[in-house]
Amino acid sequence: MIVQERREAFRAVLAGRAVVRPGSVYDALSARIAEDLGFEIGILGGSAASLAILGDPDLVLITLSELAEQVRRITRAGRLPVMVDADHGYGNALNVRRTVQELEAAGAAALTIEDTLLPQHYGEAKPQLISLDEGVGKIEAAIDGRNDRSLVIFGRTGAASITSLDDAIVRARAYEGAGVDALFFTGLRRRDELAAIAAATRLPIMLGTVDGDLDDDAFLAAHRVRIANQGHAPIAAAIAAVHATLKALREGRKPKDLAGLPAAELTRQVTREAEMKARVARWLGGRP
């Protein structure tokens, strides 16, 4: 599947009527597993990228080049359409334009640009937002930097939990006017908040957190929510599994006695061993 086909598959999700829960991925193997399990789309979150690349919390410490290279590793490994959390675009509007170019070239099917003030400024204990004018400028720069029009660009705002719901609506409508393909809201907690946003906007919606009364696919779908994030549990589970395995080995347990290791067949499937052996036989004269 070529990159444009993945982007068109992502757009088909936005054009549909169902709510899709993306698979959180962070490297080539996790993306292949998500693909094999039938996830329609994957998402590389900022926190997952920071953990996978640096082993650091989500403090916007990774660079654009590091993120783009991780996206490239993920997208070359399979066919899963992957959405990338591009944070604030790694700087001002000109940096945003460059970010879109790099992530597009790396094979992303979609990306998000948010209006949070990042990195956090000295003396600020709580998240802050950039001005509406700067946010619109970033979105316009993102659109301008896109070469393949099938690449999906989300305008993301956390205004609902930082400033107000009214501000979130004003920002969303402005980002719609600037040309985004979809809207991404974080910090929504109540049905009336989503209903107000859906009434005031027209584009497909993604939510960053879906719990409590909002955790109802029928309600979400009726209010144009097409993607509902479900966190980044896979990398958290991987941390726990690696820690438990290394701890057991350090304490003297033999490898053959370890619990939780994958079956050989699963490893062969995820590494695409049969396909690689066929290539060896075809081009290197080896046995399949």
Q: Read off the pLDDT of residues 116-130 as tens digits, 9 standing for 90 and up.
A: 999 988 888 889 999
The Cα–Cα gap between 231 and 216 comes to 16
71: its two tokens: 């996206």
pLDDT the model gives residue 120: 86
The Cα–Cα gap between 52 and 60 comes to 13
Mean pLDDT in each 10-residue stretch from start to end of the chain (288 residues)?
92 98 98 98 97 95 97 97 98 98 98 95 89 98 97 98 97 98 96 98 96 94 97 97 97 94 95 94 82
What residues form DSSP beta bridges with 183? 155, 205
pLDDT the model gives residue 123: 86
State the span(s) of the chain assigned CATH 3.20.20.60. 3-237
pLDDT the model gives residue 239: 97
pLDDT the model gives residue 267: 95
The Cα–Cα gap between 181 and 53 comes to 29
pLDDT the model gives residue 22: 98
The predicted model scores a pTM of 0.95
pLDDT the model gives residue 288: 59
CATH architecture for residues 3-237 = Alpha-Beta Barrel (3.20)
Q: Alpha carbon of 245 to those of 48, 209, 258, 262, 264: distances in Å?
A: 21, 31, 7, 12, 17
